[in-house]
């Protein structure tokens, strides 16, 4: 149910690369990850009013939380991640906005029931050890009628020789090592995608977790990433 492999210290991996994580993302995606995030957060905020209560789950270096507040300055945003160094790196960027950052476990969120109007998670859920439990937790903290947006790299339904056979498997580790000095972290990425759910399987899991309406869409370019909307 997860991409987490026995013996892989995922928290330690993210803590190691936190200082260069943003730079690596911009280089490896040619900046397209910024566009994915903006599209997802625009969808998240549609109809939620001027001061929604929002959760950024697996917030990392706070790009999502900062974008939420850029679009909704009156929002109250909680950013949760299990990797402390990622949040520390993010708070340096978020000094001018009001983000409540907290080290937290997605499997046992430290928030009251139905406290959020919406939730956002980017490239986090592949790393969870008990995905059904974590998605039930996410459902618990988002009110009925609220909206949850998941960005993720799901296991492809068909072969993608360029992305999976060449770019993810060979180019990414080389780029990752050049930018962060940590090739292992970027070998983990394609391995985790191969072990993860397809988008359809994940959408079924969300329904089982209690989300009544679930829909998904592939994102440019070529369905490399996907966006899933759950309500």
- pTM assigned to the model: 0.91
102: β partners? 80
Q: Indicate the average pLDDT of the chain.
A: 91
* Res 162 pLDDT > 70: no
Q: What's the pLDDT score for residue 195? A: 92
What is residue 175's predicted lDDT score, i.e. its pLDDT? 76
| 223 assigned to some structural domain | yes
Bridge-partner residues for 78, per DSSP? 55, 100
First to last CA, the chain: 22
Q: What is the DSSP string of 153-178?
A: -PPPSS--IIIIIIIIIIIHHHHHHH
144-161 residue pLDDT tens: 999 999 999 999 877 776
Neighbours of 31 (CB within 10 A): 10
Report yes or no on 200 lying in a domain: yes
- How far is the C-alpha of 19 from the C-alpha of 149, rounded, in Å? 26
DSSP 8-class letter at 19:
G
Average pLDDT of 67-92? Answer: 96
Number of domains comprising the chain: 1
Instruction: Examine residue 40 and state whether it is found in any structural domain, yes or no.
Output: yes
Any domain includes 13: no
Quick one: average pLDDT of 123-149?
Answer: 97
Lowest-pLDDT range of 92-96, 133-137, 149-153, 190-194: 92-96
**Coil/strand/helix, residue 62:** coil
Q: How far is CA 101 from CA 9, 16, 18, 146, 154, in A?
A: 22, 19, 15, 21, 27
Range of the domain at 151: 30-155+196-230
* Local structure of 115: helix, strand or coil: coil
Residue-level pLDDT at 128 = 96
Burial letters 128-160, b for 16+ CB under 10 A, else e: beebeebbbbbbbbbeeebbbbbbbbbbbeeee
Task: Give the CA dihedral 11, 15, 18, 19, nearest 10 degrees.
Answer: 180
145 within some domain: yes
- Domain assignment present for residue 123? The answer is yes
- 2, pLDDT greater than 60: no
- 188 in a structural domain: no
The CATH number of the domain holding residue 101 is 3.40.50.150
Asked if the structure places residue 164 within a domain, the reply is no
């Amino acid at each position: 149910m997860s991409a987490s492999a026995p013996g892989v210290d995922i928290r330690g991996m993210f803590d190691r690369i936190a200082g260069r994580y943003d730079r690596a993302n911009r280089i490896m995606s040619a900046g397209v990850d910024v566009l994915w995030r903006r599209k997802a957060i625009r969808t998240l905020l549609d109809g939620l009013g001027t001061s929604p209560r929002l959760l950024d789950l697996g917030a990392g270096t706070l790009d999502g939380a900062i974008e939420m507040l850029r679009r909704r300055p009156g929002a109250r945003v909680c950013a949760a991640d299990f990797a402390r160094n990622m949040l520390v790196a993010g708070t340096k960027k978020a000094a001018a906005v009001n983000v409540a950052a907290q080290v937290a476990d997605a499997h046992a969120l430290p928030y009251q029931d139905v406290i959020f109007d919406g939730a956002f998670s980017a490239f986090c859920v592949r790393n969870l050890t008990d995905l059904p439990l974590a998605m039930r937790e996410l459902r618990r903290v988002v009110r009925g009628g609220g909206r949850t947006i998941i960005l993720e790299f799901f296991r492809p339904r068909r072969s993608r020789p360029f992305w999976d056979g060449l770019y993810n498997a060979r180019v990414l580790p080389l780029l990752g090592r050049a930018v962060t000095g940590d090739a292992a972290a970027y070998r983990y990425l394609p391995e985790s995608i191969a072990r993860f759910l397809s988008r359809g399987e994940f959408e079924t899991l969300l329904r089982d977790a209690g989300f009544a309406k679930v829909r998904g869409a592939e994102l440019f370019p070529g369905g490399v990433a996907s966006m899933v909307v759950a309500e």
